[in-house]
Structure 1
Amino acid sequence: MDTTSIVIIIIATLAAIIFKYVLYKKICRWMDNDLAKGLAEGNAEKHSFLQQQLDQMRLDKVNRKEYPARLNELADQYDQQQ
């Protein structure tokens, strides 16, 4: 193999890894947003509240595994306040 072939293989491999990483992150984000939407049960105000809390958890760098439990808790608290 010549140098050009090796460079092409390296670039293609790096591009594939980056693409898979970006796609994985997008899918995780879609799932989290879908969870908030599902917990809102069609209530636009509740969905907005849960989405804001989800965005805040992302900013606070909360572990993603904790999102469902926290969002369920927040949805229950929202229902009790209403």
Structure 2
Amino acid sequence: MDYFIIVVTTAAGLYFHWWLFVRIRRWMDRDLALSLAGDDPQKREYLLHCLQLARDEGVSRSDLPAWLQRAADDYRAG
């Protein structure tokens, strides 16, 4: 029974740390997109949509800042 408790506790701890790591990465990506948008609410929506497109296309994390910067530069209000 002791081994079972150790295995379950270890698995739960590893899962929690993985889940927290993924959440923090998503928050950082979202924060990057919102910081590039500035105070324009339409640009914020546009860049959040672009962020989702980048995730769907499988853009690597190292390429994401440049990808979002290009999307922000291509944005035209109105």
Give your verdict on TM over 0.5.
Answer: yes
Quote the offset at 1:72 in angstroms.
Answer: 0.9
- Following superposition of structure 1 onto structure 2, how do residues 1-82 of structure 1 map, counting pairs within 5 Å? 4-78=1-75, 81-82=76-77
- 2: distance between equivalents of 1:75 and 1:57? 13
Quote the offset at 1:23 in angstroms.
Answer: 0.4
- 1: distance between equivalents of 2:71 and 2:12? 39
Aligned length: 77
Q: Which runs of 5+ in 1 are unaligned?
A: none
Calculate the TM-score normalised by the size of structure 2. Answer: 0.91
Structure 1 residue ranges (4+ consecutive) displaced by more than 2 angstroms after TM superposition: none
**RMSD, matched Cα:** 1.0
Quote the offset at 1:51 in angstroms.
Answer: 0.5
Q: Which runs of 5+ in 2 are unaligned?
A: none
Calculate the TM-score normalised by the size of structure 1. Answer: 0.87
Seq. identity, %: 36
